Amino acid sequence: MFIECCFCDNVGDMGRYNAENMADAIVKGLIGKTTSNSTPSKQMGNNNSWINLDSKTGTINTPSGVNIRAGKSTSSKILGTLANGAKVKLYRK
């Protein structure tokens, strides 16, 4: 899932940008609480740059669901979809 959370086009915007706070807000929106104090668990599959968030899950909460794409762009090929209410495992880089 790709969440576009901000667009910084000037020094003032960049001064307010805080990646950790933004990540906490996204996780809280998905699972109802932050995981800042959690210790990451196992690595995901053969891609060791993704860390499983202790088997935490989120729920898709958009009426039309979400598209799963091949890349980080809305013009990337759609590989599949997740319906509203679908449960997803949460990972972080």
Is residue 26 in some structural domain? yes
Read off the pLDDT of residues 12-46 as tens digits, 9 standing for 90 and up. Answer: 777 777 777 777 777 777 777 766 554 444 444 44
Amino acid at site 37: N
Distance set, CA 83 to CA 8, 16, 66, 89 (Å): 31, 34, 7, 14
User: 51 near 93, Cβ under 8 Å?
Assistant: yes
Is 80 exceeded by the pLDDT of residue 48? no
β-strand 66-69 against 51-59: which pairing, if any?
Answer: unpaired
Is residue 6 in some structural domain? no
Task: Please give the pLDDT value at position 40.
Answer: 44
User: 78 near 69, Cβ under 8 Å?
Assistant: yes
Is residue 5 in some structural domain? no
Q: Does the pTM exceed 0.95?
A: no
Is residue 2 in some structural domain? no
Among 7-11, 35-39, 84-88, top mean pLDDT goes to: 84-88
Domain hosting 78: range is 11-92
Is residue 62 in some structural domain? yes
Read off the pLDDT of residues 57-84 as tens digits, 9 standing for 90 and up. Answer: 888 888 888 888 888 888 999 888 888 8
